[in-house]
Amino acid sequence: MELKNLIMQRPIWLTPSATSDTILLSSETTVSRNLDKFPFPNKASLQQKSEIFSSIETAVKKRSILGESPLPMNLNDVNDLAKTVLFERDFIPIEMINGGEGSRGVILNDYNMSLTINGENHLRLSHFSDGSDLQKSWEMVDTSDTLLGKELTYAYDPSVGFLLSRPDQSGTGLEISFTLQLAGLVYTETLDQVLSGASQLGMNGQGKFRHGTDAWGGYFTLTGGNFLGNSEQEILAKSKAIIAEIREKELESRERLFLEAPLEMEDKIWRAFGVLSHCRLLSVPQLLNLTSLIRLGLERNYAMDGLTIEAVNGIIATALQGNVALLLETVPTEPSELDAQRASVVRSIFRA
């Protein structure tokens, strides 16, 4: 896998499949592990972090965990633009961008899998999908984890399970994260109540691009796993049930919006269409908030000059921060340069 291919491909949450919908956009199935002979990343020395990175990279290549041509990227060796692109495509959490000194990074392949090194734990093996088949995602991660475990000795306690940097998360090491668009819950002001209920069941939500529940465009990530005493299969079933319930509440909220305030919603949607068609400056929050409204309109079969949800996904993917900076081919001295370029990109897509 080459970096240019990474830059050109869309994030999974903006790449709908035949089985995906407009609420549940994607899922990420992960297992986290630590190596038994090293301290956790937050306690490891620079030399130890380098050894950890090298050991995991060697094991990945030896067992072909991520295919024949994996792409290792040490964040110490890439610029801020590449880090932004990696974050926007869900390959690294934002905490890793400013995660201190020492070797840390990610190994990628072309099969919707990645492996982060020296993040919160020594390694985090992930598979990305549309969320329709969690069992298949788990099996892909489990198979790769088993092969990797033949080369690396994991930190494990028979009475606890796999040992993680947060003691309360030790156990199976399995986590499942879902990206959802919850604009209906945001507009009906019922989001906090729904997320509170999910939290009580062991699944925590936060804005996809921001911490907390203040999310641009109504895009949220909900993460659950390692439920106390649960097996991997129980975690899969429980996560799926919680997300199905949240999805149903989002559908109800959208129906309520257009039933109780149809004219107000229509006005918001067409205003968003007008702004995106003619804007001269466009920030990332504005991009996500306005396209979120367009998506709601298209779901209600609004005829918007031939625009489709697929086209809207393309607009978002093209106009995210990393892509726009690449189009400029220079590091902008003012944030407004990026906003102007983003507006130009979006206008050109609307005119196409």
Question: What would the pLDDT profile of 30-70 be if each residue is shown by its tens digit?
Answer: 999 999 999 999 999 999 999 999 999 999 999 888 877 78
| Closest by CA position to 32, among listed 159, 123, 163 | 123
CB 31 within 8 A of CB 144: no
Q: At residue 292, what are phi and psi to the nearest 5 degrees? A: -60, -40
Cα–Cα distances in Å, from 107 out to 24, 65, 96, 142?
26, 10, 14, 17
pLDDT tens-place string over residues 234-257: 999 999 999 999 999 999 999 999
Do 268 and 304 lie in a common domain? Answer: yes
Which SS3 state, helix, strand or coil, does residue 157 take? strand
Do 163 and 245 lie in a common domain? Answer: no
Domain count, the chain: 3
Do 228 and 322 lie in a common domain? Answer: no
pLDDT for residue 166: 87
Query: Average per-residue pLDDT in the chain?
Result: 87
Do 126 and 208 lie in a common domain? Answer: no
pLDDT tens-place string over residues 251-294: 999 999 999 999 999 999 999 999 999 999 999 899 999 999 99
Residue 2 has pLDDT above 60, yes or no: no
Out of 205, 226, 253, a domain closes at: 253
Cα separation of 286 and 293, whole Å? 11
CB 324 within 8 A of CB 306: no
Domain around 316? 262-351
Give the residue with greater pLDDT, 212 vs 193: 193
Do 188 and 167 lie in a common domain? Answer: no
Do 70 and 110 lie in a common domain? Answer: yes
Out of 125, 148, 171, a domain closes at: 171
Enter the DSSP assignment of 171: B
Give the residue with greater pLDDT, 43 vs 332: 43
Do 280 and 238 lie in a common domain? Answer: no
- Whole-structure pTM value: 0.90
Cα separation of 67 and 40, whole Å? 27
Enter the DSSP assignment of 159: T
